[in-house]
Amino acid sequence: MENQYDAIIIGAGIIGCCIAFEMDKRGYKTLNLDKLPAAGHGSTGGSCAVIRLHYSTPDGVAMAREGYYYWLDWPKYLDKMDPKGLAYYRNTGALVIKTELNKNLTRVKAALDDLGVGYRDVEYEDLKRYLPNIDARSYFPCKTMDNPDFGQPTGERIQGAIWVPESGYISDPQLSTHNVQVAAEAKGGEFIFNTEVTEIFKDSGRVAGVRCKDGSRFFAPVVVNVAGPHSFIINEMAGVLEGMNIKTRALRQEVCHVPVPEGVNWEQDGTIISDGDIGCYSRPEVGNHILIGSEDPECDELEWVEDPDNYNTNFTGQWTTQVMREAQRIQGLPIPSQPQGIVDLYDTSDDWIPIYDKSDLPGFYMAVGTSGNQYKNAPVVGVMMAELIQACEAGLDHDAEPYQFFMPYIRRKFNVGFYSRKREINTDSSFSVIG
């Protein structure tokens, strides 16, 4: 049959491309469909591409630890040189601030200990060794700018931090995605862009393919939803929402791009900062700038988006709020009058932990709810999803007997049921991200 494939993957962000690459390596004939003009032009392109190992659960640390080695081994993983060049990992270390909210990082440290990830407890007196221009007073709990006490310290000092040296970021998230696209194409994978899926075909009780907005049709016994902020729309098309206890929504986010204090070489000497005391995370950026994102403190209103194709792409007061919060910690941080940065959407699940799973429609799989915290895990997610799909298509009842995924780098088995669509909300989640 014309336009017949073994698997259709809806989405060509970093995770969609990695799933295609891993399935291609296993002999599948794959097709990625994306409504945007190129790979990585959606949420992936808006990612801060942070590579971090600190999570509040051992499962989160395990995935990040395994994924970390793929990035270190990037050329070997790809096995194909991209004519555009390769993205690269830059190590900066991460300073994670202790707060009441994160229970002074007791759970995070336990999770790091469980995986053997090295870190150092940093006492208040030693903070300047890691952040020379730090204002170490406490501003917790976070406040909005209309609060008269905004910007006023609430305590003489923060409780300290942990330093996780194996942390950093990827130089160019869009380029990294193109790298994987080229690698997948070398294994036989195909990609079609500027193509919007509008219907999921079914036949004899299972998925059978898709129809696109331009009328084109593509057929496959396996369809994988990796549509980012559009994932809930694709799940609705497939009719699988009723069988999901955990669902996804699109969340609008702003990331700030500002210069650093005068006389500071932040691009060379700066670090990732995860700071629940002020509700921000940040990392160095090319041009001696700093990227600032929100850790979504309780006082900030989350802006859920019903139509991912129609939302406010302009900066708002949230941009100024985030920069001013970061200025509470980094002394001398400029606050430009003209906002710069990124306005984009996250694909967010109910507990901010992704769904990597089958669905109630045989042959229809999901890698959704991933935005903001799963870029770093994309290569290992590609392997895990390819193996999960193979196992389910061979007859495994993943709901009754969750697939056990072996992670070769850290030599550890992982219960993929952790990411089940049928799970209860994970109360150990931090309910936030470092994008």
347 contacts 229 by C-beta, under 8 angstroms: yes
Judged by DSSP in three states, 197 sits in strand
CA–CA separation, 432 and 295 (whole Å): 6
Model confidence pLDDT, tens digit, residues 102-156: 999 999 999 999 999 999 999 999 999 999 889 999 999 999 999 999 999 998 8
Half-sphere exposure of 173 (CA within 13 A, CB side): 26
Last residue of a domain, one of 308, 331, 348: 348
Same domain, 191 and 158: no
Tokens of 149: 């006490």
Model confidence pLDDT, tens digit, residues 333-347: 999 999 999 999 999
195 contacts 216 by C-beta, under 8 angstroms: yes
Q: Which domain holds residue 329?
A: 89-170+251-348
- CATH number for 80: 3.50.50.60
Last residue of a domain, one of 305, 332, 348: 348
Same domain, 183 and 81: yes
Same domain, 338 and 308: yes
Model confidence pLDDT, tens digit, residues 128-139: 999 988 999 999
Same domain, 178 and 155: no
Q: Taking 90 as the threshold, does the pLDDT of residue 310 lie above it?
A: yes
CA–CA separation, 421 and 244 (whole Å): 5
For 58-86, the DSSP string reads HHHHHHHHHHHHHHHTHHHHH-S--TT--
Same domain, 238 and 106: no
Tokens of 428: 């150990």
Q: Would you say residue 433 lies in a domain?
A: no
Q: Would you say residue 432 lies in a domain?
A: no
CA–CA separation, 29 and 248 (whole Å): 28
CA–CA separation, 398 and 53 (whole Å): 28
Q: Would you say residue 382 lies in a domain?
A: yes
β-bridge pairing 355-357 and 7-10: unpaired
Confidence (pLDDT) at 427 = 76
> What value does the mean pLDDT take over residues 44-57?
91
Same domain, 310 and 358: no
Q: Would you say residue 429 lies in a domain?
A: no
Give this prediction's pTM: 0.96
CA–CA separation, 385 and 426 (whole Å): 21
Q: Would you say residue 282 lies in a domain?
A: yes
Half-sphere exposure of 121 (CA within 13 A, CB side): 9
Q: Which residues partner with 282 through β-bridges?
A: 273, 292
Q: Would you say residue 300 lies in a domain?
A: yes
32 contacts 142 by C-beta, under 8 angstroms: no
132 contacts 68 by C-beta, under 8 angstroms: no
51 contacts 168 by C-beta, under 8 angstroms: yes
Q: Which residues partner with 197 through β-bridges?
A: 212
Eight-class DSSP state of 282 = E
Domain count, the chain: 2
CA–CA separation, 96 and 272 (whole Å): 8
CA–CA separation, 322 and 331 (whole Å): 15
> How many Å is the Cα radius of gyration of the chain?
21
> What value does the mean pLDDT take over residues 60-64?
94
CA–CA separation, 408 and 380 (whole Å): 10
Confidence (pLDDT) at 80 = 95
